Structure 1
Amino acid sequence: MVISLAALAAGCAAPMAQDQAASAPAPAGQPAYLDTSLDFEARAQDLVSRMTLEEKARQAGHTAPPIPRLKVPGYNWWNEGLHGVARAGIATVFPQAIGMAATWDTDRMHESATIISDEFRAKYLDTLQPDGSSGFYQGLTVWSPNINIFRDPRWGRGQETYGEDPVLTGEIANAFIGGLQGDDPKYYKTIATSKHYAVHSGPEWGRHEQDFHPSARDLEETYLPAFRKTVIEGEVGSIMCAYNALYGIPACASEFLMEERLRNDWGFDGYVVTDCGGAANIYREDALAYELDRVKGVALGFKAGMDVICGDYRNELTTEPEQIVEGVQTGVLPIEVLDRALVRLFTARMKLGMFDPYETLPWADITAQEFDTPEHRAKSLEMAKASMVLLKNEGNLLPITDAPRRIAVLGPNADSFDTLVGNYYGTPGDPVTVLDGLRARFPDSQIDYLQGTGLIGAPEADVDASVLCADAACTRQGLTAEHFDNVNLEGTPTETSVEERPYVQWRSDGRETSIRWTGFIKAPETGTYNFRFASENGYRVYVDGKPVVEEWGVGDAPSILSGTTTLEAGKIYPIRVEAWQRGQRGEQWLVWNRPGDTGARAVEAARNADLVIFVGGLSARIEGEEMRVEAEGFSGGDRTRIDLPKPQQDLLQQVQAVGKPTVLVLMNGSALAVNWADQNVPAIVEAWYPGGSGGHAVAQLIAGDYSPAGRLPVTFYRDLDDLPAFTDYSMRNRTYKYHKGEVLYPFGHGLSYTSFAYSNPVASVNTDGSVTVAVEVANTGAMDSDEVVQLYLSRPGMPEQPIRSLAAFDRIHLAQGETRTVSFTLDERDLSTVDAQGVRAVRPGEVNLWLGGGQPVSRPGLAAAPGAATSFTITGPVRVLPK
């Protein structure tokens, strides 16, 4: 849908405007909030002053209705853009956040986010209503990036973060924020949201009632720096407060977090949105239960600094304006506090250009069709290639420069859409799985593909349309499909037809949709079958009138829950499949496992091959946000074990025993303890969830079309034995900074197809107290390649300090034989340390520096990264830094 310029101007809702064009005063009789010569806050104050109390209360929720009498369009604040425009149909899908962090490349990150913001603008324009209103997953307020520290590999949402280090997280986040928000001096292109503030990284199963008490040092050194950086340096426009409590007070009611730190110490002038249901956690008895009176609980949140409440339909907790009205009327919530929140919200909407003429806006040249373009897909592929981490390459098995005669492609992730996109994703228009990529890159090789196993159980495939019947005699193929315009299969269907199989491409108008398929299934063989609907919302499958699997009320989380039933060959059974969705989530369909699907055929394929590529790992259906997974090693979206799931491990060992050259490709969002593979498989590639074109990136890496240069943003531990309990938020023995044991692959690790040498490290203290550190880096191998230069600091002799800390990094490109000097300038904050009381200061003493392609650590079978060391000494008195 494309709205005319005249309609946009009349509706007072449009994308942003150029500074010099927005200077004319409002026509006579126009209210001040439409006067583009005034500053945005003054305009917002005027608009809010004209609202009734009831209107104000309704504007404080994430679904803000229109106010026609004031020409205020409706607006839904909820939109997702973790690694591309999410849940709004076809869009360019970049690698999952953890994969983009693995690039260690701020320039690529900014470029990717710029493309993403272009597509947000295009989607917004395409979906605007005639009055200028925009709905769920259609707006310009982007609830990304997730900058929580990935402190523990068990956390299922760690894939959404930029890893375990505050410096890497802050730098990557600011590049992303800059691309999302744009560079216009007056208007936002979109508004980014740093989340979840603060001290939030699992477990998922208890996130609504957890109360964390990190030490003063851990809070200042680990949990808050990235938030501070995105506010002060990144100028992020929005912050999302977390579900959990901090020091006994819910994050969304914490004056310490939102007033003292965020606004007073850091100077934040944007708005705070609650995580969905976060405000309700203040008063819910089954959550934090901080203030059980709902009216008082909501008032506490607003007084502490939250500005807009996201309701939570998953828990039947929505924004209730009556609570806000009652709070004001009874004096619990001062009207000036509510007005303060609304002024912040409408200032943000005005900075987005929603109350200015469309044609005057700096983004007016972006059309409604500018999404998932060939140019954008090409950039997604570049990002995916940059994210690949070569973990092991024994005997230089890779690259495979001569096409093998026959390749066996095995494993549950080889032809998986799920493992391209991770979670919080859009729908790539032309997704390329690893199998697709290998077929394209090795067209002359015979490629034999077999799953061999599922992620955590038997392998799954689409249910054959040939076994589905519209009548009991099986004379007509297909199932009767009934489509409903709600999520509960209620009322009269909007459409009824016979469809080939339970499959749906959720349509752009399907914001709240459900479907029921009914008919019959003819069993092709006798035995036990598994059924599941490949959906991201709820589903049910009934066979012979009995429930096989019911996953109806989970909500947003994708599921892999399946159920079993026994069928007899040739017998015809009634079947009913039901599913619902909110938002637009792409293709979804019925899958099964038949009795004869085993790993034996995969092992035989390996035996007949010249090269085996095993593609395994995880997916966002077994690691993610508050989800149900009934399998060993998983709980509530998190993991209780970090090794490769047993069905995959068993098949990998059988395949490796065949004795053919084998490459293990891991697709996952968190660290995997692939200890056996490290000892027995010659080549291991970490591909993350690599986005819509990810299959090409994997195949081209294997073929040697480019040299891998991704680096791990998290530590790959050997096991969980040395880590504290998941619920323990102490950083003791966590991450590369504090973990004292031997790890499988260290933070910052990544191999290359070439070699690098570091020499002549120099540290120079400048007159302003900063330090410039330089080193010469040479490509000494036989291939052009990127290198990630990492600078680590350590403070010998200073008690209770990290083993080492990342201070700076730079991804550079070096041609074969090229040498370049790389330099970094470290300011006082870079040089500071934090004591037990949480005081950050520059303290005198020796500083040891390491500049290299990774950390200076090694173990049997894994050499230390190339690099060079130097040191300098800080002199003078202790200099305390501001919070």
Structure 2
Amino acid sequence: RAEASVVPTAQAAPPAPSVPPPAPATPALPSVPSTPLIYKDPDRPIPERVADLIRRMTLEEKAASLDSDPPTIERLGILGCSFRNEGMHGVYKAGRATTFPHSIALAATWSTALIQRVGSAIGDEARVKFAEAPTRRNYGVICWAPPVDLVRDPRWGRVQETYGEDPHLVSQSTRAFIRGLQGDDPKYLKVAATVKHFVVYGQETDRRATNLVVSARTLREYYLAPFQATLAKGGASSVMTAFTALNGTPCVMNPFLLKKILREEWGFEGPAVSDVNASVNLKEHYQCVGSLEEGVAQAVAAGIDVVAINKGTVFSNALQAVKQGLLPEAQLDRALTRSLTLRFRLGMFDPPEQTPWTKISPSALGSPEHVALAREASGASLVLLKNDRPAHRADPAPLLPLDRRRLDSIAVLGFYADRIELGTLHSAEPAQPIVSVLAGIRNHVGARVLVRSAPWFDADAMRRSARLKPDALAARQKAAVEEAVNAAARSDVAVVVLGLSRKNESEGKDRLTLDLPKDQQDFVEKIIAANPATVVVLLNGGCLAVNWIQKHVPAILEAWYPGEQGGNAIADALFGDINPAGRLPITFYAALDTLPLTECEINRGRTYLYLKTPPLWPFGHGLSYSRFDYAKLRVARETAEGGDALRVSLEVKNAGARDGEEVVQCYVRAPEAPWPTPIHQLRAFQRLAIPAGETRAVDLSVPLARLASWDEDANRWTLRPGRYEIQVGASSADLRLRASVDLE
């Protein structure tokens, strides 16, 4: 179903300069035009200001402004800027900034309110950085975030940057992030959100030269859904295209995507930006154009408005494309109309006092409030995967939460015990020192409980550095493991922190296996043998097939890449200061399937929508220290804003002894069809706090439009008549209540 070019993958381009290049010289032109400067008048409508500015620009200035780092144009009094900041879980690379949990962890909160607050904090800090250096890359207020890509394959190296595998969860989570990031001022954006990667991106292997083949139904119902939610309805300001080709045409020059879908069907008016060097790939990898100038021309003709090239050749490529007749100047003007409109909406051409976001205090950067929010978000993202009684104990109580009063000693061990991986695209310097699990536990127990640890011996690092001979290396590694095993055996409880890092999964690096690294697997088996009262904490982005651990370890906590406050939040959960309520935004598969990374048809057993074999842990799974009972399900059709909807009502009781939060999940099973249909699909959810012993009413709304499917024959959305089953529960596999409704 998918074809890949034989052209080798491109090498990483050198980093672009932090300061944009100077504007092309125009010595023969007057320094200030004589006609009224409409573009400088904040009281005039933005479309008039944009048109006036473009009318005054030379061809050279227009060509330079097509760049993702448009330069300063002194003649017109226009300051340069950058379209190339990142802000997924903190302001990227621009010095000190708060580092929040990564995107996959934010998705695991299943809390749109919390995600919006995180987005708002990142937006505040981006504005502070912008005030420091408005023309520098990574100090800009146009962020390439959030990603709305869907996880079709667990091996993908960038799962950590996503919000999961389900279109509805991804749509609702990223819309909340966008609301926070962009702010609520009716005129000025705080930060411009750029959703990416448009569309069907989901692999690093050969990503610059791969053609992905997708049916119209899968494209519409699955891959396009979160883009439509964030671009047509969700308020995102910009969109970035994917490197890959869709059904034979590279996304960066795909008029079906950039014109028909984006502009004609969805009515999106913001700029479309190419991923870095995507126009270069047209010549060097896809070999569908004859020159770099033609690559830029084809991209702009298809609907790209901002071109990102690391080598800084956008100006010369665009200028020559116009002069050679490859790119009409009118198309260049159209692209600039969209990109300049966004810059006007950010207040870049107005006096600072006109823009409310310039009033954000520099003290917001890494503020105590933001650090506390990072800890709260990390705690809310923690997923309690398993919590059983240790095999050697007669007490039927589960291992967690740990009771400080009954502990004399605790061993904190493993590769990541004294370090926290932040994942990709984090800030250069966290606002506060990164808190490891070891440090977090020490912060919690103080001096009363003995905390034992054993430094991890990184044999791979030693082997690469050739600092030890093989025999000495093996001896050192054996001694380090024996020290850890001894610490576990002499402690009441062992906490083993395992996981992955950017060495295993990242941009440009897919995984070959879902397993833990072998040295970590061997290590945890020895620790369990020494002390059955062991908790495993996992730090990772994509799922891990930890089958042995699931079978033999009594308690397992998924912590993702939890941000700078991760260690404190993990300790909060281990000791019961918070009640874990995170839920999996992806399926944890028990084994790796044999489908290639380029297989895009998810109906071949991908994701919880079509998976027929039992997973290790299902989508939506997550335990609690409380127990929640569901009752009194009612489903009624009602007229709601935007069209008819199903109102799903029920009651949820916290039947446990602790206050807690439950994530109520509503799935819908559609009538059978002549084509493969999902087993069921998430259509609504709500995370809510319920005190111990109390009951809460839950009301969910499922718009009927959300139940429509794509009719490939009629080329339109249609609601198939028949019986729809409403399923409500605590995960995609733990469905407590069911009701049916007939729709005509």
Q: TM-score, normalised by structure 2?
A: 0.90
5+ residue gaps in structure 1?
1-25, 129-133, 461-528, 531-561, 570-592, 627-636, 858-863, 876-883
Q: Contact 2:238–2:271 at 8 Å: present in 1 too?
A: yes
Question: What is the CA-CA distance between 1:173 and the residue it aligns to?
Answer: 0.5
| Alpha-carbon distance between aligned partners in 2 of 1:108 and 1:729, rounded to the nearest angstrom | 32
1:46-61 mapped onto 2 (5 Å cutoff): 46-61=52-67
SS of residue paired to 1:169: helix
Q: Contact 1:125–1:367 at 8 Å: present in 2 too?
A: no
Residue of structure 2 aligned with 1:125, choices 131, 146, 153: 131
Q: Contact 2:113–2:176 at 8 Å: present in 1 too?
A: yes
- Please tell me whether residue 726 in structure 1 is matched to residue 597 in structure 2: yes
| Alpha-carbon distance between aligned partners in 1 of 2:33 and 2:615, rounded to the nearest angstrom | 68
| 1:401 matched residue in structure 2 | 403
| Alpha-carbon distance between aligned partners in 2 of 1:230 and 1:306, rounded to the nearest angstrom | 18
| Alpha-carbon distance between aligned partners in 2 of 1:174 and 1:568, rounded to the nearest angstrom | 53
- Please tell me whether residue 826 in structure 1 is matched to residue 708 in structure 2: no
SS of residue paired to 1:333: coil
1:371-520 mapped onto 2 (5 Å cutoff): 371-395=365-389, 396-403=398-405, 404-417=407-420, 419-430=421-432, 431-443=434-446, 444-452=448-456, 454=458, 457-458=459-460
The alignment-based identity, stated in percent, is 40
| Alpha-carbon distance between aligned partners in 1 of 2:505 and 2:257, rounded to the nearest angstrom | 29
SS of residue paired to 2:218: helix
| 1:200 matched residue in structure 2 | 201
1:757-768 mapped onto 2 (5 Å cutoff): 757-767=629-639
Question: What is the CA-CA distance between 1:661 and the residue it aligns to?
Answer: 0.5
1:175-324 mapped onto 2 (5 Å cutoff): 175-202=176-203, 204-284=204-284, 287-312=285-310, 317-324=311-318
Question: What is the CA-CA distance between 1:407 and the residue it aligns to?
Answer: 1.1
CA displacement, residues 411-456 of structure 1 (integer Å, 9 cap, x when unaligned): 1111114x145444442232211111000011121111224454xx
> What code does the residue aligned with 2:333 have?
D
Q: Could you say if the C-alpha distance between residues 594 and 323 of structure 1 is closer, same or farther in structure 2, counting changes exceeding 3 Å?
A: farther
SS of residue paired to 1:743: coil
CA displacement, residues 658-704 of structure 1 (integer Å, 9 cap, x when unaligned): 13400000000010011001110000000001111111110010001
> What code does the residue aligned with 1:342 have?
L
| 1:854 matched residue in structure 2 | 731
Q: Contact 1:452–1:601 at 8 Å: present in 2 too?
A: no
Q: C-alpha root-mean-square deviation of aligned residues, in Å?
A: 2.1
Residue of structure 2 aligned with 1:653, choices 519, 525, 530: 525
| Alpha-carbon distance between aligned partners in 1 of 2:142 and 2:527, rounded to the nearest angstrom | 48
| Alpha-carbon distance between aligned partners in 2 of 1:85 and 1:617, rounded to the nearest angstrom | 25
Question: What is the CA-CA distance between 1:28 and the residue it aligns to?
Answer: 10
| Alpha-carbon distance between aligned partners in 2 of 1:344 and 1:422, rounded to the nearest angstrom | 30
| Alpha-carbon distance between aligned partners in 2 of 1:739 and 1:388, rounded to the nearest angstrom | 24
CA displacement, residues 509-534 of structure 1 (integer Å, 9 cap, x when unaligned): xxxxxxxxxxxxxxxxxxxx44xxxx
Question: What is the CA-CA distance between 1:360 and the residue it aligns to?
Answer: 2.1
Q: Contact 1:781–1:816 at 8 Å: present in 2 too?
A: yes
Q: Contact 2:157–2:506 at 8 Å: present in 1 too?
A: yes
| 2:343 matched residue in structure 1 | 349
| Alpha-carbon distance between aligned partners in 1 of 2:209 and 2:251, rounded to the nearest angstrom | 11
| 2:393 matched residue in structure 1 | none
| 2:361 matched residue in structure 1 | 367
> What code does the residue aligned with 1:793 have?
V
SS of residue paired to 2:440: helix
SS of residue paired to 1:170: helix
Question: What is the CA-CA distance between 1:368 and the residue it aligns to?
Answer: 2.7
> What code does the residue aligned with 1:841 have?
T
| 1:599 matched residue in structure 2 | 481
> What code does the residue aligned with 2:739 have?
T
Q: Contact 2:454–2:480 at 8 Å: present in 1 too?
A: no
- Please tell me whether residue 609 in structure 1 is matched to residue 491 in structure 2: yes
| Alpha-carbon distance between aligned partners in 2 of 1:27 and 1:357, rounded to the nearest angstrom | 20
Question: What is the CA-CA distance between 1:53 and the residue it aligns to?
Answer: 1.1
| 1:871 matched residue in structure 2 | 740
Higher strand share: 1
SS of residue paired to 1:639: coil
| Alpha-carbon distance between aligned partners in 1 of 2:610 and 2:717, rounded to the nearest angstrom | 18
| Alpha-carbon distance between aligned partners in 1 of 2:453 and 2:276, rounded to the nearest angstrom | 42
| Alpha-carbon distance between aligned partners in 1 of 2:477 and 2:607, rounded to the nearest angstrom | 44
Q: Contact 2:40–2:49 at 8 Å: present in 1 too?
A: yes
| 1:747 matched residue in structure 2 | 619
| Alpha-carbon distance between aligned partners in 2 of 1:595 and 1:658, rounded to the nearest angstrom | 18
Question: What is the CA-CA distance between 1:595 and the residue it aligns to?
Answer: 7.0
Q: Could you say if the C-alpha distance between residues 59 and 597 of structure 1 is closer, same or farther in structure 2, counting changes exceeding 3 Å?
A: farther
| 2:13 matched residue in structure 1 | none
| 1:564 matched residue in structure 2 | 466
Q: Could you say if the C-alpha distance between residues 711 and 453 of structure 1 is closer, same or farther in structure 2, counting changes exceeding 3 Å?
A: farther
> What code does the residue aligned with 1:302 have?
V
1:567-716 mapped onto 2 (5 Å cutoff): 598-626=480-508, 637-716=509-588
| Alpha-carbon distance between aligned partners in 1 of 2:670 and 2:349, rounded to the nearest angstrom | 53
- Please tell me whether residue 81 in structure 1 is matched to residue 87 in structure 2: yes
> What code does the residue aligned with 1:45 have?
A
Q: Could you say if the C-alpha distance between residues 683 and 74 of structure 1 is closer, same or farther in structure 2, counting changes exceeding 3 Å?
A: same
| 2:100 matched residue in structure 1 | 94
Q: Contact 2:160–2:423 at 8 Å: present in 1 too?
A: no
5+ residue gaps in structure 2?
1-31, 390-397
> What code does the residue aligned with 1:282 have?
L
Q: Could you say if the C-alpha distance between residues 65 and 27 of structure 1 is closer, same or farther in structure 2, counting changes exceeding 3 Å?
A: closer
Higher helix share: 2
SS of residue paired to 2:158: helix
CA displacement, residues 344-388 of structure 1 (integer Å, 9 cap, x when unaligned): 111111110011111122123212332111111111111111000
> What code does the residue aligned with 1:840 have?
W
SS of residue paired to 2:358: coil
| 1:473 matched residue in structure 2 | none
| 1:44 matched residue in structure 2 | 50
| 1:541 matched residue in structure 2 | none
Q: Could you say if the C-alpha distance between residues 821 and 321 of structure 1 is closer, same or farther in structure 2, counting changes exceeding 3 Å?
A: same
| Alpha-carbon distance between aligned partners in 2 of 1:725 and 1:64, rounded to the nearest angstrom | 39
- Please tell me whether residue 793 in structure 1 is matched to residue 664 in structure 2: no
Q: Could you say if the C-alpha distance between residues 596 and 874 of structure 1 is closer, same or farther in structure 2, counting changes exceeding 3 Å?
A: closer
CA displacement, residues 579-617 of structure 1 (integer Å, 9 cap, x when unaligned): xxxxxxxxxxxxxx9777632211111111111000001
> What code does the residue aligned with 2:629 have?
A
> What code does the residue aligned with 1:35 have?
D
| 1:143 matched residue in structure 2 | 144
> What code does the residue aligned with 1:442 have?
V
| Alpha-carbon distance between aligned partners in 1 of 2:469 and 2:727, rounded to the nearest angstrom | 64
> What code does the residue aligned with 2:729 have?
G
> How many equivalent pairs are there?
695
> What code does the residue aligned with 2:504 have?
I
Question: What is the CA-CA distance between 1:320 and the residue it aligns to?
Answer: 3.2
Q: Could you say if the C-alpha distance between residues 568 and 821 of structure 1 is closer, same or farther in structure 2, counting changes exceeding 3 Å?
A: closer
| 1:815 matched residue in structure 2 | 691
> What code does the residue aligned with 1:259 have?
K
Q: Could you say if the C-alpha distance between residues 568 and 148 of structure 1 is closer, same or farther in structure 2, counting changes exceeding 3 Å?
A: closer
| 1:165 matched residue in structure 2 | 166
| Alpha-carbon distance between aligned partners in 1 of 2:457 and 2:96, rounded to the nearest angstrom | 30
SS of residue paired to 2:429: coil
CA displacement, residues 46-105 of structure 1 (integer Å, 9 cap, x when unaligned): 111111111111111112111111001121221010111111111111100000000000
